[in-house]
Structure 1
């Protein structure tokens, strides 16, 4: 059994999340409410150590200031079996997004605890689902990892789930009918990838009640086919009314999460998560990249936005071998021009 993704600020082996694919044109992103947090000293130390381990450069993702790099020139090659494609999705619009725009203090309201999607949010889910279906992405994804909060769970099953559920089918639904008064039809777990909930990709911990999750017992009732086995505690023991997770600690947690992703066998993974988690994690990865790539990585995610990234193993964290590589020299022969080889073979035959 694979270990749980760590919920910590101690970073592991060096990976690089370096190149969105395909390259995206610069686009405006929605602004998010700022949260002021202090940097944790332990987080600073662990990330400095990580950057030292990852200090070598390549042509595409480097802090080099050479004229070629500043002009955006250069490419990089990595063995394909040392790469995974990760599809990052921020949840659709939640009720907390609407109320918080009106009054930031509303984020602390008990009414917004574990905020669910708005009707507009569900429309955003439907639109993204149409996109991933039409472009063929839905058939490529091997696993969906989702933060265990209501808005991310709803987004994940709505976008990547198996469509409308039919009564009498032996497989449990991903989401039951009308979950949390959503007015939505049940969603099937057939003809879609497996779903796995993980605390390590949840939103930045803060005093906001919208970031406190419900019990796993409740979630299992609403989302029967999602695997919650990685979550150790039924109630939310991580959130607290006076707990504020420092920005750099979120980034370190995110980098640990991506390290854990590399230990999984799946090569195409969707991650449905949150704005703050993505912003701080990707900006930390961007510190190792060319400024143009760093800017692209660091853009704030809009609600229900999807971006594809390449996760590269630069430290032999994974031991996978390529499915497509072929060793060559089968059958084996003399490594010389064909005319010389024929002469050598003839000489060998005459001696027999």
Structure 2
């Protein structure tokens, strides 16, 4: 990944975090958009849920996460507060459909900063938090200040620069957390911009592969390093 021969290849564990980035499973608006992009403007696709195929994708990934031991290692799950992402987060990392004694599921925390690109398109508008609390009782919504969605605007679409700023804000927040291994359940374009925050540290070929578009229910794992925690060796 590094172009310079004198670059550091070893990092102390306390300066690293493992992040598992996961895009939600196939949702109804994904299917409709493949037929006609204008369908994304339909109010009938408000806060679009997973399709049957999306639920199957989630179930398949859940099996992989359990068998690989990832479920036991993840200390925190951060999810976008939209229906499709929370269905994915609970389906992959939760324990609502199994006996509590079978698995130790990590806490799931909803954050606005992880939600989809805001504005114009009804699939990206969220419901009231009180409704979500009934639908997803195991998710922690304490970090969301507004009951209603006051971020989505009917006439203004969030710019890519604004999404990038959100990605940077989120990564700064994540770095301050005590957990060392975290899963993030979000949306394709938002996950890409989270990765763009670190893309300049990668070789161009790695950057292209790392930041390519996410498929539905694709999980991509990265290690982030705080180089500021490491001082240069003192010269004698």
Q: Same fold (TM over 0.5)?
A: yes
Between the aligned partners of 1:78 and 1:108, the Cα distance in structure 2 is 47
Between the aligned partners of 2:129 and 2:187, the Cα distance in structure 1 is 19
Structure with the larger helix share: 2
What count of residue pairs does the alignment treat as equivalent?
A: 230
Alignment of 1:45-194 (within 5 A): 60-61=1-2, 76-162=9-95, 164=97, 191-194=104-107
Give 1:284 deviation, angstroms: 4.2
Give 1:165 deviation, angstroms: 5.0
Between the aligned partners of 1:268 and 1:260, the Cα distance in structure 2 is 14
Give 1:164 deviation, angstroms: 2.0
Residue 236 of structure 1 pairs with residue 149 of structure 2: yes
Q: 1:290-311: CA deviations, max 9, x gaps? A: 1122112211100000011111
Paired residue secondary structure (1:315)? helix
Structure 2 runs not aligned, ≥5 long: 231-236
Residue 264 of structure 1 pairs with residue 180 of structure 2: no
Structure 1 runs not aligned, ≥5 long: 1-59, 170-187, 318-352
Alignment of 1:238-317 (within 5 A): 238-316=151-229
Paired residue secondary structure (1:311)? strand
- Normalised by the length of structure 2, the TM-score is 0.91
- The structure having more radius of gyration, on CA atoms, is 1
User: Do the aligned residues in 2 keep the contact of 1:189 with 1:225 (CA within 8 Å)?
Assistant: no
Between the aligned partners of 2:102 and 2:185, the Cα distance in structure 1 is 17
1:344 equivalent in structure 2 = none
Residue 209 of structure 1 pairs with residue 122 of structure 2: yes
Q: Specify whether residues 189 and 266 from structure 1 end up closer, same or farther in structure 2 by C-alpha distance, changes over 3 A only.
A: farther
- Normalised by the length of structure 1, the TM-score is 0.62
Question: CA RMSD for the aligned pairs?
Answer: 2.2
User: Do the aligned residues in 1 keep the contact of 2:164 with 2:193 (CA within 8 Å)?
Assistant: yes
Between the aligned partners of 2:46 and 2:79, the Cα distance in structure 1 is 18
